[in-house]
């Protein structure tokens, strides 16, 4: 495991760029940050709130899920960790960042009359639309339901497609884009949704609580964060608390459990010439690390085309 960058403020949403650099959001730092091939950091944009997930869109811009802000607790051994909703929480939103100028455009902060609560993770389909999760927000005596949305990059269309979920987090598409995978944090579950068209889900009947099929549930004391899909269709999901990356087959079997030196391995992406290097955010200790992976990652639309 090689350290690409350190002293990041709870990094997530890593993107391995074609030029050898990396993008990450720093949730506690409230920034979109570029890391060059030598590990040097520079701030592309100050976003405020809590920038959480990121993806490159069809126009080459970076699209960020902003959860509106988190509270923080610092532990001398385990590092930084989220701690509820802060007093300065300023609402969830989807933002577009021009990577050349750093200009930030707010695309969405609501779907119809429903305000976004805590947008978390994002993936683009081949048609140029994007799916994103909303984790919700947690308060001392109450919490929001989460959900999954589909939107367009022009700021003209957003729909709540999957609702409710207790804490929708990581999200990814199968190679043929007929299946959508969503990681649910609180119950350490992975849900599979059949897709019939861009932004359209074929809902499973009762007793499914959300129209999906439960593909996998962890038997360990874990919570699931972000995920990425490899070239064989396996779901590689970050499991926090126990601190590992789980590899789940498309049929729901656990085929690997890779321990990480941090209780908050939050995100994984693939890069390198053959997409066979995994880049993982070890967020508690503020690291972006790289390690060889036994299989290539699945190419992402508009990034690895």
The 10 Å Cβ neighbour count of residue 44 is 19
Say if residue 120 carries a ligand binding annotation: yes
Query: Tokens standing for 105?
Result: 């455009």
Say if residue 304 carries a ligand binding annotation: no
Spatial separation of the C-alpha atoms in residues 269 and 59, rounded to whole Å: 20
Q: Active-site residues: which are they?
A: 225
Spatial separation of the C-alpha atoms in residues 212 and 180, rounded to whole Å: 9
List of long-range contacts for 216-223, beta carbons under 8 Å, 24+ apart: 216/189, 216/190, 216/248, 216/252, 216/254, 217/187, 217/188, 217/189, 217/190, 218/188, 218/189, 218/246, 220/188, 222/188, 222/246, 223/185, 223/186, 223/188
Spatial separation of the C-alpha atoms in residues 204 and 216, rounded to whole Å: 16
- Cα-Cα end-to-end distance for the chain: 27
Query: Tokens standing for 33?
Result: 């940050």
Task: Characterize the bridge pairing of strands 41-46 and 31-35.
Answer: antiparallel
| Residue 220, strand partner residues | none
Say if residue 267 carries a ligand binding annotation: no
Q: Point out the annotated binding site for a divalent metal cation.
A: 169, 225
Residues flagged as binding site for substrate: 120
């Amino acid at each position: 495991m090689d350290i690409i960058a350190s002293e990041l403020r709870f990094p997530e949403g890593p993107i391995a760029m074609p030029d050898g650099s990396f993008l990450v959001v720093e949730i506690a730092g409230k920034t979109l940050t570029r890391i060059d091939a030598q590990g040097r950091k520079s701030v592309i944009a100050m976003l405020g709130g809590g920038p959480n997930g990121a993806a490159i869109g069809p126009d080459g811009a970076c699209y960020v899920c902003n959860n509106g802000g988190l509270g923080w607790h610092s532990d001398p051994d385990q590092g930084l960790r989220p701690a509820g909703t802060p007093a300065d929480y300023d609402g969830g939103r989807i933002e577009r960042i021009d990577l050349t100028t750093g200009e930030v455009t707010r695309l969405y902060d609501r779907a119809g009359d429903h305000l976004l609560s805590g947008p978390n993770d994002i993936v683009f389909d081949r048609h140029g639309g994007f799916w994103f999760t909303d984790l919700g927000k947690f308060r001392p005596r109450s919490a929001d339901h989460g959900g999954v949305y589909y939107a367009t990059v022009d700021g003209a269309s957003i729909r709540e497609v999957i609702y409710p979920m207790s804490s929708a987090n990581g999200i990814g598409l199968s190679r043929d884009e007929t299946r959508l995978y969503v990681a649910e944090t609180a119950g350490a579950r992975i849900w599979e949704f059949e897709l019939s068209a861009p932004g359209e889900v074929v809902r499973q009947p009762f007793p499914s609580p959300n129209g999906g099929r439960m593909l996998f549930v962890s038997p360990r004391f874990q919570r699931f964060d972000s995920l990425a899909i490899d070239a064989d269709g396996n779901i590689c999901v970050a499991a926090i608390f126990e601190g590992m990356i789980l590899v789940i087959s498309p049929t729901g079997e656990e085929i690997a459990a890779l321990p990480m030196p941090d209780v908050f391995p939050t995100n994984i992406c693939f890069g390198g010439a053959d997409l066979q290097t995994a880049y993982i955010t070890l967020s508690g200790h503020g690291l972006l690390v790289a390690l060889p992976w036994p299989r290539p990652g699945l190419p992402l639309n508009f990034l690895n085309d």
